[in-house]
Structure 1
Amino acid sequence: LDLAEILNNKYSVNEPAFDIIFCAFNGEECGLTGSEKFIEDINGKYDNLININIDSVGYKDGGKVTFLDRNTDTSLYEPMKEVIENNGLEVELNTGLKGTADSVEFDRAGISAICIIDENVKEVIHTENDTPELIDYDRLDKVVKSVDDFVSSFKFN
């Protein structure tokens, strides 16, 4: 939500050259129905789309930032890696971390997608141990700043 506010404030005077849509999906574990429906709803409304899925970041002892289920379109990974590292976080591209995130539906629809996730979340994610006390707010702010930097510098080919 902080990222949405930052981008809204940044572009309140000078609009960006592209639309920015923030979505919060629920029911990921029920078959990605939220992201699937969203993709159906926007189908044909945009010439170019990218999906930046921010999922399970900002944990204390989160390890390196990585990308879940790296898809075949790798054009987003290196630029995102660079801005994350420039904001003081370590990135690992080849963790082999597997899981299902909403970015999978975007990838299936042929939309470039990336899912940013902390590498050490499997022990707490989707458990009763996933509590606010585990949040590293400085780390979370660095992820927000990284995505802001990425969006601000992004150019569609």
Structure 2
Amino acid sequence: MIILTDLLDGSKDHHLHKEAGSSLTVACSFNFSGKTKYFCRGECEEGENILVYTDGVRAQSSRYSIGHGKHKSSAVFYVTIKNLTTSDSGRYRCLSYLSSRKNSYVDFNVSVSDGERDGKTVSKYCQIGLNENMPLTTWRTR
């Protein structure tokens, strides 16, 4: 099962917000199905910034994966980053490459935060007597 964060095409600027520790999966949509699909950090320079790519149906490298839906010929492919960290914040690119004269890409920005802390309560308990828990103090983060 794929939990889709967003469907991306080249028609607008995309900015996605996620919390550290979560995963990000986006569907990159194109007008044609390229022979090779790339997922890059920044621009897809030759041999640089490429996180993962495939000539087939799917591929994985470390926390990054790329793949198609049911059909390899589909003009939509999915990219995923697992276990996001704040250092994953930045610009990414999905690139569908057919030939040196025909390729298409979608750029998107990701912002990864440490997570929501406001309003959450943290409680500490100490054991006294026989299996009784008594609240010692309650902490509230700001």
Fold in common (TM above 0.5)? no
Report which of the two structures shows the higher radius of gyration computed on alpha carbons: 2
TM-score (norm 1): 0.28
**RCO (CA 8 Å, sep 6+): is it higher in 1 or 2?**
1
TM-score normalized with structure 2 length = 0.30
